[in-house]
Amino acid sequence: MLNFYEAVRRNPGIKKLEIGDFLFAEYACGIGDEKVPLWVQKDYLVHVLTGRKTWHTSEGIYVANPGDTVFFRKGAAIIEQHLEVEFCLFNFFVSDELIRSTVRETAGSLNRLPPAVSPIGTALRVENDLILGAFFQSMRAYISGNERPAESLLRLKLKELILSILMSGKNPTLAAYFQFVAAADAPSVADIMQANFRFNLSLEEFARLCHRSLSSFKREFEKHFQQSPGKWLLQQRLDYAATLLRSSTLNVTEIALESGFEDVSHFSRVFKERFGDSPATYREKVMVQV
């Protein structure tokens, strides 16, 4: 899968401003294929200027039209592009460290949430207001100018983005998520894995999503799930595939890909080992029972 953050950061044809691990970019189209599986190790906010784009996440489908703003949590998705209309957007990749430091600076005026449960899923639509609109316009002016703005000014602008969401009252769910991020020192391994297991990521990529080294990721994973990441992923993907065979009209190849398997033959073999029947036979038996 494509690492979206790295692809944008390394593309010389995309207009962008970068400070440390924060990245702001404005680009048109960007990716040529109609559907692109990707993952991002940072939370990111998208503001669509022209055109339309669709994100397929593990929890649902999000369509963004001109003027729409959507916040996506770190993780994987499949982007569907609608190439009949010229597409242009703003992308703000925001690090946990920036969210954490900004929230903690203003902690006295915010209502804290208990850190046990994340208040949002994989994505959230953002309610735009005059302050956010002005912010987008100012950032467009900075990125379009001939001179790069001072780093100190850009850092203040980044904090302005987070503070405007925290303090305006227009986006209480997203504000609560920022507080959730600030309450922990690293993302939850269990949370990241449950939201992304059906995407075909390597263990190294899962570790990066969780902001941990591979060894730390494996150690914490096994402590929580009481089994290795490889075994757990296989079990979750097979269970998800079985659910799709029972409840969807997708064919076996589509179900294999949707469940995180690249090789359909491998999928059929491990499915039969788990459930005693091939995927096709399993579906036939379910249909007879119904």
Q: What are phi and psi of 23, to 5 degrees?
A: -140, 125
Q: How many CB atoms lie within 10 A of CB 282?
A: 20
Which of 3.20.20.105, 2.60.120.10, 3.30.420.40, 2.10.50.10 would CATH assign to domain 2-182? Answer: 2.60.120.10
Work out the percent of the chain whose per-residue pLDDT is above 70: 93
pLDDT, averaged across the chain = 89
pLDDT at residue 1 above 50? yes
270 pLDDT more than 90: yes
- φ and ψ at residue 27, rounded to 5 degrees: -155, 160
Name, of 13-22, 81-90, 120-129, the range with top average pLDDT. 120-129
**Domain ranges in the chain?**
2-182, 187-290
Kindly report, residue by residue over 195-240, the tens digit of the pLDDT: 999 999 999 999 999 999 999 999 999 999 999 999 999 999 999 9
pLDDT tens-digit map of 136-157: 888 888 888 777 888 888 888 8
> CA-to-CA distance for 21 and 185, rounded, in angstroms?
17
Residues 25 and 91: beta-carbon distance below 8 Å: yes
Q: Which fold has domain 187-290?
A: Arc Repressor Mutant, subunit A (1.10.10)
CA 280, CA 284: separation in Å to the nearest integer?
6
Residue 246 CA to chain centroid, in angstroms? 27
Whether the domain at 2-182 and the domain at 187-290 fall into the same CATH topology: no
Alpha-carbon distance 57 to 79, whole Å?
Answer: 9
Going by C-alpha positions, the residue among 148, 193, 27, 24 that lies closest to residue 98 is 24
Q: Given the DSSP bridges, would you call strands 43-50 and 15-19 parallel, antiparallel or unpaired?
A: unpaired
Q: How many CA atoms lie within 13 A of 35 on its CB side?
A: 5
Instruction: Report residue 5 CA to chain centroid gap.
Output: 11
**Cα separation, 44 vs 190, whole angstroms:** 20
Q: What is the pLDDT of residue 115?
A: 47
Residue 68 structure tokens: 């729409």
Measuring CA to CA, which residue among 22, 5, 289 is closest to residue 151? Answer: 22
Supply the pLDDT for residue 116.
42
Separation in Å, CA 14 to CA 113, 237, 264, 267, 272? 38, 36, 36, 38, 47
